[in-house]
């Protein structure tokens, strides 16, 4: 069945947004562990983030681009290393900055979703052992408490941790930057720690900010089984995303971040496919992977609303971005027709930005001149914005 996309494809009130990451777009995140990693002698990071695309100063322009295109929602990160650049010190200036961002989104008709942790941590926190260090959970809760004026300024939705399953294998991924040969297995100890941190954060947010829905965003590939490999496929997915998804039971929503998929063989290993189109990240060009990922999450977490908090493609030709996103949205609509409770879609990304060591992968609906920071919308921005579902009718 062919799905023809229009502004009526998704229901009224469906969140229609774009996503950005703090470190990847803000620039000058000098108190973070990633800044240190990128700039230390002999670094394995191929290209520095540096000034990124200067969204720390140009967020108003970014918001205007999203709102002007028709989007209703905007997901951005709060950079903890700006809030807590030193242990025990909270920057009131940084809190005020992010508060102004929340208010600025609301003023433009954009509902803000904020991510509290998107891979980076303060350097002092990393030096003390990071998530495996002493009192890591208590220190994260202290950070959440400090964010009270930001969260109460009009935040619509809170994500505690971005892609905890990727965070648990990130040191392995930075060497290759690829998922084409399968996702490495997350560290079991770090998996348990991140789940515990998430549960504690959810409890604290519900205690202090009971009106704001809270969850986290898990990277979910569309794992497909070779003939007779269903059991092996499920075993492969168990540590890579299923355990993190089950930790979302009882949350207000679960974020699904889906880009591609893969086939798992009867031996429990990925089946490498040769002659298939690939993106600038080396991933298979699989638009319908979004629908497959959402279906699997819906089966695993019945009763938990789903928000697609990231979906997109790294390509050099914008027509390919529109082609991919058309297929992805059609597959999402079919999954919803089959019973998946999906409440929103956020495209990754509004801007071409720094992709964890590389500038070449371009996911953005807007290109950015890295010398002048001039933003140039691509045709995909207006196209995708035009598909925004109608607002919820107000009863008279």
The enclosing H or E element of 224 equals strand 222-225
Tens of pLDDT, residues 87-140? 999 999 999 999 999 999 999 999 999 999 999 999 999 999 999 999 999 999
Q: Is pLDDT above 60 for 180?
A: no
pTM: 0.97
Q: What is the mean pLDDT of residues 215-232?
A: 97
226: Cβ contacts below 8 Å, ≥ 6 apart: 233, 263, 264, 265, 266, 271
Q: Is pLDDT above 70 for 171?
A: no
Superfamily of domain covering 15-385: Glycosidases (3.20.20.80)
Beta strands at 366-368 and 375-377: parallel, antiparallel or unpaired: antiparallel
| Burial zone of 27 (CB within 10 Å; 0-12 exposed, 13-18 middle, 19+ buried) | buried
Share of the chain above pLDDT 70, in %: 96
DSSP 3-state helix, strand, coil percentages of the chain (rounded to 5)?
A: 40, 15, 45
Could you tell me the residue ranges of all domains in the chain? 15-385
In this structure, are residues 230 and 191 in contact, taking their beta carbons and an 8 Å threshold? no
In this structure, are residues 9 and 331 in contact, taking their beta carbons and an 8 Å threshold? no
Question: φ and ψ at 385, to 5 degrees?
Answer: -60, -35
Q: Could you tell me the pLDDT band of residue 396, with boundaries at 50, 70 and 90?
A: very low
């Amino acid at each position: 069945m062919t799905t023809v996309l229009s502004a009526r494809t998704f229901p009224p009130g469906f969140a229609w947004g774009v996503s950005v990451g703090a470190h990847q777009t803000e620039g000058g995140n000098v108190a973070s562990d990633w800044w240190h990693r990128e700039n230390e002698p002999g670094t394995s990071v191929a290209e520095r983030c540096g000034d990124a695309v200067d969204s720390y100063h140009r967020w108003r322009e970014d918001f205007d681009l999203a709102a002007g295109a028709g989007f209703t929602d905007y997901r951005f990160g709060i950079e903890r290393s700006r809030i807590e650049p030193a242990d025990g010190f909270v920057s009131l200036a940084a809190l005020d900055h992010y508060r102004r961002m929340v208010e600025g989104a609301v003023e433009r008709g954009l509902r803000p979703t904020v991510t509290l942790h998107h891979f980076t941590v303060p350097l002092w926190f990393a030096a003390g052992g990071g998530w495996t260090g002493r009192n890591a959970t208590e220190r994260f809760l202290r950070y959440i408490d400090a964010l009270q004026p930001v969260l109460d300024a009009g935040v619509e939705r809170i994500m505690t941790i971005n892609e905890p399953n990727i965070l648990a294998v990130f040191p392995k991924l930075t060497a290759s930057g690829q998922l084409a040969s399968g996702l490495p297995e997350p560290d079991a100890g770090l998996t348990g720690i991140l789940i515990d941190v998430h549960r504690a954060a959810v409890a604290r947010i519900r205690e202090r900010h009971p009106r704001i829905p809270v969850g986290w965003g898990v990277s979910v590939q569309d794992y497909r089984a070779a003939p007779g490999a269903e059991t092996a496929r499920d075993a492969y997915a168990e540590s890579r995303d299923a355990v993190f998804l089950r930790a979302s039971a009882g949350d207000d929503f679960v974020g699904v971040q889906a880009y591609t998929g893969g086939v798992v063989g009867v031996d429990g290993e990925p089946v490498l496919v040769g002659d298939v189109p690939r993106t600038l990240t080396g991933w298979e060009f699989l638009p319908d992977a979004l629908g497959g990922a959402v279906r699997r999450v819906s089966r695993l977490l019945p009763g938990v609303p789903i928000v697609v908090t990231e979906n997109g493609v790294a390509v050099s030709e914008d027509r390919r971005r529109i082609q991919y996103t058309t297929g992805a949205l059609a597959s999402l609509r079919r999954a919803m027709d089959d019973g998946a409770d999906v409440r929103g879609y956020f495209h990754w990304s509004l801007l071409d930005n720094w992709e964890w060591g590389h500038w070449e992968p371009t996911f953005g609906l807007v290109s950015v001149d890295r010398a002048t920071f001039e933003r140039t919308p691509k045709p995909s921005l207006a196209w995708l914005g035009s598909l925004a579902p109608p607002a919820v009718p107000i009863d008279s």
